[in-house]
Amino acid sequence: MEDLSLYNPEGSELRRMQKKMLEILDAFDEICRKHNINYWLACGTLLGARRHGGFIPWDDDLDVYILQSDYKKVVSVLKEELPENFKLQTRETDKNYWYYHAKIRDTDSKYYDKNTESDNLQYQGIFIDIFPIEPVPSMGFKKIVDKFILSDNRLKKAKPVYEQVKYTIMTSFIPIMHLLVNLSRFYYKYIGSKKTYAYAFGVFFYTKYNTDNLFPVGEIMFEGKRYKAPGNVDKYLIENFDSNFMVIPQPSKRRTHAQKIKFFSLL
């Protein structure tokens, strides 16, 4: 049997990174529980919990989901209560950060990927992602809205004149798109049936989730501690991956994100 621990042996750069993400998760979990805010491990993080009892050995990110309706609340309390060595990164706290989901960043490290230098972010340390999810009318509608909402960020990086003109025109439609988003949220809050969820508007991923697999939120063991998880973990993972999610992928399909990590202090 293959020894997967060779990917992240104790003391390795990847294992140090995973431990730092776990430290961030612990702070996030404590604050969410204190304020009765639901969240759950998601994507490869949840897969790792189910298949490996912790991180996928080669994984170098950590994802959690919250409801979009809780997003403002969680952002507010995290701003006030995170430990000093962690910083909340949103469009409001970092002027060059353009994503519509939040990150919690470590201040004692630097995470290098293909965007680190070009984005000129204020916070650049190891992080966890906090993705809001919500009901949406359709994936097609969400893709159209996302394309316009994100055009202001693309404009910043557009070089050719025709690209600048294109995205300037698109940007003029952004207020209308935000109105449509607010109408959609009003509909699902008071009228529509919440049978499926997707990433919130502005978060450019398009997986759909069956409500019955998400709620009520449960718990799962991850790196020796219990964290929140979807109510039906296996069905959730089948929606994200496929029915063979417990099978270890071939080495060629084991992907990472970081190009380099720099630590400013010892763990």
Q: What pLDDT is attached to residue 129? A: 97
Query: What pLDDT, on a 0 to 100 scale, did the predictor assign at position 94?
Result: 92
The Cα-based distances of 240 to 22, 62, 200 in angstroms read 22, 15, 16
The per-residue DSSP string of 237-262 comes to HHHHS-TTTTSPPPGGG-----SEEE
Query: Which single residue is written with the structure tokens 């080495």?
Result: 251
Predicted pLDDT of residue 90: 96
- Residue that is written with structure tokens 């080669």 in the block: 58
pLDDT of residue 115: 64
Domain extents in the chain:
4-135+197-263, 139-193
What's the average pLDDT block by block, 10 residues per block, for the chain (267 residues)? Answer: 85 94 98 97 97 95 97 96 97 90 96 71 94 95 88 58 68 85 94 93 93 96 98 95 92 81 76
The pTM (predicted TM-score) of the whole model is 0.91
When the pLDDT of each residue in the chain is averaged and rounded to a whole number, the result is 90
Distances, alpha carbon 188 to alpha carbons 69, 164, 167, in Å: 11, 35, 30
Question: In this predicted model, what pLDDT tens digit does every residue of 105-132 receive, in sequence order?
Answer: 999 999 987 666 556 889 999 999 999 9
pLDDT of residue 224: 97
pLDDT score at 152? 60
Bridge partners, residue 132, by sequence: 66
Token look-up 């909340």 returns: 88
CA gyration radius for the chain?
19
Cα–Cα distance for residue pair 190/99, rounded to 1 Å: 28
CA gap 131, 99 in Å, rounded: 10
CB 14 within 8 A of CB 60: yes
pLDDT of residue 116: 60
**How far is it, in rounded angstroms, from Cα 37 to Cα 29?**
9
The predicted pLDDT at position 65 comes to 98
Q: Which of 198, 81, 78 is nearest to 90 (CA)?
A: 78
> What's the topology of domain 4-135+197-263?
Beta Polymerase; domain 2 (3.30.460)
